[in-house]
Chains A and B, each alone.
Chain A
Amino acid sequence: MSKEKFDYFIKGEKGKYEVVIGLEVHAQVLSKSKLFSGSSTKFGADPNNQVSLIDSAFPGMLPVINEECVKQAVRTGLGLNAKINNYSVFDRKNYFYADLPQGYQISQYKNPIVGEGKVLLDMPYGSKEIGIERLHLEQDAGKSIHDMDPSNTYVDLNRSGIALMEIVSKPDLRSPDEVNAYIKKLRSIMRYLGTCDGNMQEGSLRADVNVSVRKEGDTNFGTRCEIKNVNSIKFMQMAIEYEAARQVELIENGKKIDQETRLFDTKKNETRSMRSKEDAHDYRYFPDPDLLPLKLEQKLIDDLKKSLPELPDKKKERFVKEYGLNAYEANVLVSEKEISDYYEEVAKLSDKKLAATWMMGDLFAMLNDRGLDISKSPISAKYFAELVQAIKSGEISGRIAKEVFEIMVESGDNPKKIIESKGMKQQSDPKELEKIINEILSKNKDKVDQYKAGKEKLFGFFVGQVMKLSGGKANPQLTNEILKKLLKG
C-alpha cells in the first residue's frame, strides 16, 4: 500500500497551524456492581432503582472497594502496555452538585493505579504511537434531569458510584482522523479485554478533549482549551475542527487564547465557554480517609498478565503471518474481537484470502446496511465458509455467489442446499459449454466475422450471450477459454 503523507493543518492567512490534541477518556468498567457498593450497574433500569445507601451517601455509610473493578483497571493497563502501580491512593474530589450525593467524587489524583503506557495507531501514513499518561479509577456521578418538569430538576442516581477508568493520553494526537483511530483502538483493546463494552450510545465511553494549535514547526504548545464530556467520535471530530479553527482565528487576529473549559453544542456545531481558569473549581483533593491505600501484590498483576487474551496488535501480526493477509486486511479483521473470531472460524474451513475478501466486501456491507453487529449476523461462520469454498472450488461463480449470499441472508439456509435446490451450480462441463457456445456462434455469424476482422470488443458480447443462455451458470473461466479456441477456428 502506498503511504500517504500526514496532512492535517489549519490554513491561516499567516501560515499553517498544527492541531495538538490530548484526550481524557472516561470508560465505564465492565462489572456487575459499582466501584464501592453492591448495586447493579445494568443499563436501562428505572430511575433510582439501582441505588444503595452508599451510592446515595446516607450518614455513616462507608465505601468498600470492589476488587473486580481493580482487576479490570489492571487488565486495561496491561492492555495499554502500561506500568501498573503496586501502590495507589483514592482521593476525594470535593464539589457540590445535586447528582453528586457525597459532595465529593472518589477518584485517584496523585497516585493512580496505572502509569505510563502506549497505544499504536495504523494511519494511512504509517503507524503512530500515542502515549498514555495514566489511567485511574473513579466513581461516576448521577444524572440531573432538567426537562421533566418546568420548575424542578430530577436526579437519577442509578449511575452514581459506577466505576469509571479515566484514561489520559499525552498530547500526541494531531488530527480528527487520529482521534477517530485512537478511540477505536482503545475501544477495541478494552472490548478484547472485556473491561469496557465501549458502548458510546449508553455513555460507557466519553471523553474530554483538550485542543491547542501552534504554527507548523513550533515546538512549544499553545494554550489549550478543554471540551468537556463529548460522547461520540463524530462530535469529537466536529468539536476539534471547530475549536482549532476558532483558536487559529484568534491568533491571527492577534488575540489571546484563554485557558478554559468549553462545551460542544451539537446542534449549533460550536464550542462555548463554560468556565475560565479563574473560575475553575478548587476541588480540594485529599486522600479519602475511609479507604486504605490500594496495595497490589505483584503476583496478582503477573497472574492477570498471564490470563490476558491475544490483543489486536498481536493478532494482526499473526493474521498476516498465518493467513497471508495484507496489513490492511488484517487491521480491519482484528478491529473487533467478534469480527476476528468470525474470520478465524471461516478461515479454518475455507480459503483464507478469499474469505477475507468476501467478509470485508459483501458480509460487512450487508451488516452495515442492516445495522447489525457481526455477532447478530444472519449467516453463520460455518455457512459463510461453505459459500467461500463453493466459490473457490468453482462450484459457483462469483456472480452466482452473490445471489446465494442474498438468499442465505434471507433464509439463513445452508449454501449447498440453496445451490442445489435452485440448480445454481456452475456449468463446468467443457462439452456442454462447447454446445452452448457453438449454438451462439452459429446464430451470430455476422458478429463472428466482425470479430475475426479485428473487432475484438465483441468478445464480451459472446460471453454475455453464453451467460444468458446458461442462466448465468457457465463457468466464466472455461467459457473464456472455449470461446477463444472456437473463435480462432
Chain B
Amino acid sequence: MADITNQSLNEIIENVKTKKVSSTELTKAYVKNIESAKKLNAFVTTTFDQALNNAKQFDNKPNFDQLLPGIPLAVKDLFCTENIKTTAGSNILNNFIPSYESTITKNLWDHGSFLLGKLNCDEFAMGSSNETSYYGNVINPVGDQLVPGGSSGGSSSALAADLTPATIGTDTGGSIRQPASFTGTVGLKPTYGLCSRWGIVAFASSLDQAGPMTKTIKDCAIMLEAMSGFDEKDSTSINKKNEQYSKNLKDNIKGLKIGIPKEYRVDNMPKEVDELWEKGKKILKDLGAQLIDISLPHTKYALPTYYIVAPAEASSNLARYDGVRYGYRSKQGKDLIEMYEKTRSEGFGDEVKRRILIGTYVLSSGYYDAYYLKAQKVRQLIKKDFDDSFKKIDAILTPSTPSSAFKIGEKTNDPVSMYLNDIFTVPVNLAGLPALSMPAGVDKQGHPLGLQLIGKTLDEQKILNIGYAFEKNCGFKNEIKKWWS
C-alpha cells in the first residue's frame, strides 16, 4: 500500500476493519507525517506515546464494530482533554492540564478512537486566520504564505496535510466552515445543542458549537454520528435520539428545493466566488433539485449583531481567567486588583482584549439597550428570516467565504476586514442552524473555495445528503503538494 494516510477516514476505517492496516501502523504513519510537518505549526501538543499505546491496546484486542475502530485523531486545543495540556491557543492557559475530558472527545474515544495531539487555534477561538494564537500562526498546506483560516486553523491545516484522518473544531461564527473552505475540506457546524459544549473552553456560549472537519461528506457523517448526542451536563443540549448519519447517507436529492438568497451576493466579491456559486447551483439542478430564489432581508445586520453578541458573552466567559485558581498568574502585582490587571494583560493577546473591551462596553449600563438588547432583537429577526424561508425550501446554498485563503499578515492590522470574512457564516450561528461547507473548486490561483449548505434545525442528514450528491458530481480534488516535508 502506498500512503495509508492519504485517504478518507471511511477508507482508513475499512482498511483497519479488513486488517489491511493495523492501528499501530496507522498511528506511526501519522506520527511520521506530523514530525515532518512542523513548519505548518498545526500542533500545540502531541501525545504520540499515549497514542501508540492506545493503538497497541486496540491491536491486541480489536473491536471492529465501533464507528472509529483504532483511529488516531488530533483535536482542536479548545477541547479539554484529561491530563493533557489544554491551552485554547492562549498564554493564560499555557500551564493548564484539565482533570476532565470534554463530552465530545469522550464520545469519540468511546467509539474506538484516541488522541494524537492538540491542534493550534486562534486564541479562545477568536480569529479567522489562526494568527491570534499565542503558539504562533498556522500555515495552510495549500501554500506556504497562506493562512489556514480560523479559528480552527490547526484543525484544517492538519487535516489537509494528512496529519490526522479527520478532526473536530468549534464554530462560533464560522470557525469550522471558513477554514474548511480555505483548505479544500469539509466542515460542518451542527444545530446549536446537537453537540455538547461541556468541557469545551467557552467563547460565546449561545453560538459555540463543535463539529466535524473531514476530507469527505461520508467522513463528516461518521464523525458527527460519533460525537453528537444529548448531554445532561449541558443545559442547552437537545434531548433527542442519536442519528445514524453515515448509514442513512443518500445521494438522491431529486425534488429537493434549494433556496438561493439574493442577499449573499455582496459588493467586491471576487468573480470566481460568484462563478463557483453558479456552478454549484447547476450541479444541484442537474441532480434534480429545484432552485428557488429567496430573500433573507436581515442578513446585512448579521455581522454587526454577531460582533455585539459574541464579544458580550466572551467578556463574561473569560472573566474566570483571573490567575486565582489555575492558569497563568503574573508574578507582579501588589494587591488583588493589580494581580488581575497584570495577569490578564500578560495572559491575553490583543484580539482577545479587543473583544473583551467591546463586550464589556456593549453590556455597560447606558449602552446595554442600544447595543446588546437591540442585537438580541435583530438576532430574532435573522432567525425569523430563515424560519420563513424554510417553510418553502429544504436547504440554502451560498458561498462559504467571500474569498479564498488570504496571505499571512494581510489582514492582521485591519480587524474589520478580518471580521468581514465571516459574513456568510455568521447568520447561521445567530439562528442556531446546521450548515456545511464543502469544497467546490479553486480560484484562479488554484486556492480552494467552498460552498455552504444551510439546513433547518436538526436537518443535518438532509444537508449531508445534498453534500454527498454534490461531492460525487463536482469533480473537486484537493491537490496539495507536500512542500513542507
Q: Which A residues are within 8 Å of any B CB, using their own CB? A: 53, 56-65, 92, 94, 96-98, 101-104, 153, 155, 282, 284-286, 288-292
Contact = CB atoms under 8 A, between A and B. Distances in A.
Given A60-B80, A282-B364, A290 B235 contact: yes
A102 B322 CA distance: 9
Contacts of A289: 204-206, 236, 313
Going nearest first, the 9 A-B pairs with the smallest beta carbon separation are A103-B319, A289-B206, A284-B363, A289-B205, A57-B320, A60-B199, A59-B201, A60-B80, A60-B200
A59 B80 contact: yes
B316 interface: yes
Contacts of A284: 315-316, 360, 363-365, 368
Contacts of A63: 235
27 contacts: A53-B100, A56-B325, A57-B320, A58-B98, A59-B80, A59-B88, A59-B96, A59-B320, A60-B198, A62-B235, A64-B235, A65-B235, A96-B319, A96-B322, A98-B336, A101-B324, A101-B325, A102-B319, A103-B319, A103-B320, A104-B316, A284-B368, A289-B236, A289-B313, A290-B236, A291-B235, A291-B236
B94 interface: no
B360 A58 contact: no
A142 to B, nearest CB: 10
Contacts of A60: 80, 98, 102, 197-202
B326 interface: yes
B86 interface: yes
Contacts of A56: 325
Interface string B29-45: 00000000000000000
A292 B316 CA distance: 17
Contacts of A103: 316, 318-320, 322
Given A58-B326, A59-B93, A290 B205 contact: yes
A21 to B, nearest CB: 27
Contacts of A53: 99-100
Contacts of B319: 94, 96, 102-104
B279 to A, nearest CB: 38
A155 B322 CA distance: 14
Contacts of B322: 96, 98, 103
B233 interface: yes
Given A64-B234, A104-B319, 5 more contacts: A59-B93, A60-B102, A64-B232, A64-B235, A103-B322
Contacts of B320: 57, 59, 101-103
Interface of B: 80, 86, 88, 93, 96, 98-100, 102, 197-202, 204-206, 232-236, 312-313, 315-316, 318-320, 322, 324-326, 336, 340, 360, 363-365, 368, 372
Contacts of A290: 202, 205, 235-236
Contacts of B232: 64
Contacts of B360: 284
Contacts of B235: 62-65, 290-292
A110 to B, nearest CB: 11
Contact of A282 (B197, B199, B312, B365): B365
A466 B233 CA distance: 80
Contacts of A65: 235
At the interface, is chain A mostly helix, strand, loop or mixed?
loop
Contact of A94 (B93, B233, B234, B316): B316
A58 B236 contact: no
Among A53, A63, A103, A289, chain B packs the most CB atoms within 10 A around the CB of: A289
A58 B197 CA distance: 13
Contacts of B313: 286, 289
B372 A286 contact: yes
A290 B363 CA distance: 17
Among A58, A61, A102, chain B packs the most CB atoms within 10 A around the CB of: A58
B86 A98 contact: no
Contact of A58 (B100, B233, B365): B100
A101 B312 CA distance: 19
Contacts of B316: 92, 94, 103-104, 284, 286
A60 B365 CA distance: 28
A282 B316 CA distance: 13
B80 to A, nearest CB: 5
B233 A286 contact: no
Nearest to B198: A62
B67 to A, nearest CB: 24
A286 B309 CA distance: 11
Contacts of B234: 62, 64
Contacts of A101: 320, 324-325
Nearest to B201: A59
Nearest to A63: B235
B325 A64 contact: no
A459 to B, nearest CB: 79
A196 to B, nearest CB: 25
Among A63, A92, A96, A155, chain B packs the most CB atoms within 10 A around the CB of: A96
B359 to A, nearest CB: 9
A292 B364 CA distance: 23
A286 B363 contact: yes
Contacts of B336: 97-98, 153
Nearest to A153: B336
Contacts of B324: 98, 101, 155
Contacts of B202: 59-60, 290
Nearest to A95: B319
Nearest to B327: A59
Among B233, B235, B326, chain A packs the most CB atoms within 10 A around the CB of: B235
Nearest to B365: A282
Nearest to A64: B235
A456 to B, nearest CB: 81
A52 to B, nearest CB: 10
Contacts of A285: 363, 368
A96 B198 contact: no
A109 B222 CA distance: 43
Among A62, A92, A104, A288, chain B packs the most CB atoms within 10 A around the CB of: A62
B264 to A, nearest CB: 27
Contacts of A58: 98, 100, 325-326
A310 to B, nearest CB: 36
A289 B203 CA distance: 11
A53 B236 CA distance: 19
A62 B199 CA distance: 8
Contacts of B315: 94, 284
Nearest to A280: B365
A284 B340 CA distance: 19
Nearest to A291: B235
B363 A94 contact: yes
A469 B313 CA distance: 88
Nearest to A288: B205
A57 B368 CA distance: 25
B250 to A, nearest CB: 34
A284 B366 CA distance: 10
A120 B316 CA distance: 41
Given A57-B325, A101-B325, A286 B312 contact: yes
Contact of A62 (B204, B206, B233, B368): B233
Nearest to A97: B336
Nearest to A53: B100
B232 to A, nearest CB: 7
Nearest to A286: B363
Contacts of B364: 282, 284
Contacts of A286: 312-313, 316, 363, 368, 372
Among A102, A103, A288, A292, chain B packs the most CB atoms within 10 A around the CB of: A103
B448 to A, nearest CB: 32
A141 to B, nearest CB: 13
Nearest to B366: A282
A317 to B, nearest CB: 43
B101 to A, nearest CB: 10
B197 A59 contact: no
B107 to A, nearest CB: 14
Contacts of B80: 59-60
Nearest to B99: A53
